[in-house]
Structure 1
């Protein structure tokens, strides 16, 4: 599991510190915190965390459930981390879409376990597949498994972790089917999955099981994307 960048929305400074320490000890990155609705929305927009932990009781008129309603509109993943379990609060929570609800007080182990399980479920729901025809059969390919695409005249090779497929479509046609921002053109004949890159040197991208060329015109873009890609 990757080291998630987590933003904390909590109005008690001591509890914020406790959560930050627990997250770091469990291998996560605490990238910021806020104690009220307005500041949280602003900083989340700026910092773009992977996951937000929200206490329900916050400073100001709007609370954590109000914040959750706004995050749902933006399709951003969050979990509640709160001591409030009264029926009225739980009833309001039913109308928003958290990945989970961690009840305070928590242990470091329960915090990690809840986050890992929730993130795994969320990641699974965000996976995308493409359907191709190869050697007379239809194949459903998880695009996360694709290392790179390679142009071959009006055909395209799709290279995954375990198999290579040759399909009767152009590189452009196949690349346009891929969703997300983890695929980038490395060369006029190659599109690479950022998640599979191990290193980039002068004119080569090294992957786990292969290496491909990177053109001078695309290298700076690939490197820039790698530095900012989560």
Structure 2
């Protein structure tokens, strides 16, 4: 399953693209944005595999958005302007679709992305290092149950202890595999494999009851669905 978002300021173009994506069973559309500013805010707290990105937008255009992101996912440009094609490839975009394009051209582009992802040989990490007071500590990912925000600190709750770190949520999310961990609330990240059950938007991990907020609900349950399909 390839998770993706659309960033497109033309409503008709966005609806057409959304309709195409819904026909492709290995694409999981997480969100659609009509401007780059809202998309940046989303991408700072959530990871996706692929962005369908328009170039010409107000406030923050597609080129500026790619320059602003530190860790770019796969990018498929969807633009009515051809003059940005050469420049866009400096960001290693997977394909450049010139509007208007049909479903056949889109499926060719997403198949290319799927092939690129299959050929990536970078293994997911089994551990991370975090700074705690006067030392840097190794944390085995398999030991993490959940992470909770506590004022200026994060508490990484392991199976046998808790580790306090001054990292932000966005920093720790950059280290964690997006397929195994999900932010479910402004104050919580959970390890999917530690969830016992979910009841009334409350995640049960050990003796902890963790709320799922409305702002993270759709993303979390989509990730659970994708995890179930690949598990």
- Runs (5+) with no aligned partner, structure 2: 128-140, 144-178, 180-190, 197-204, 206-219
Which secondary structure state, in structure 1, belongs to the residue aligned with residue 52 of structure 2? strand
Report matched runs for 1:81-100 at 5 Å. Answer: 81-86=78-83, 89-100=84-95
**Structure with larger Rg:** 1
Give me the whole-angstrom Cα distance separating, in 1, the residues matched to 2:118 and 2:99. 25
Query: Structure 1 residue 109: deviation in Å?
Result: 2.3
Give me the whole-angstrom Cα distance separating, in 1, the residues matched to 2:192 and 2:28. 28
Give me the whole-angstrom Cα distance separating, in 2, the residues matched to 1:219 and 1:113. 33
Give me the whole-angstrom Cα distance separating, in 1, the residues matched to 2:53 and 2:192. 39
Give me the whole-angstrom Cα distance separating, in 2, the residues matched to 1:102 and 1:219. 36
Match of 1:127 in 2: 121
Report matched runs for 1:43-62 at 5 Å. Answer: 43-60=42-59, 62=60
Q: How many residues align?
A: 146
Higher relative contact order (CA 8 A, sep 6+): 2
Match of 2:194 in 1: 221
Q: CA RMSD in A?
A: 3.5
Residue pair 2:36, 2:62 contacting (<8 A) in 1 also: yes
TM-score, length of structure 2 as denominator length = 0.52
Query: Structure 1 residue 91: deviation in Å?
Result: 4.1
Structure 1 segments (4+ residues) deviating >4 Å = 222-226
Report matched runs for 1:108-127 at 5 Å. Answer: 108-124=103-119, 126-127=120-121
Which secondary structure state, in structure 2, belongs to the residue aligned with residue 20 of structure 1? helix
Instruction: Say which of 63, 66, 70 aligns to 1:68.
Output: 66
TM-score, length of structure 1 as denominator length = 0.52
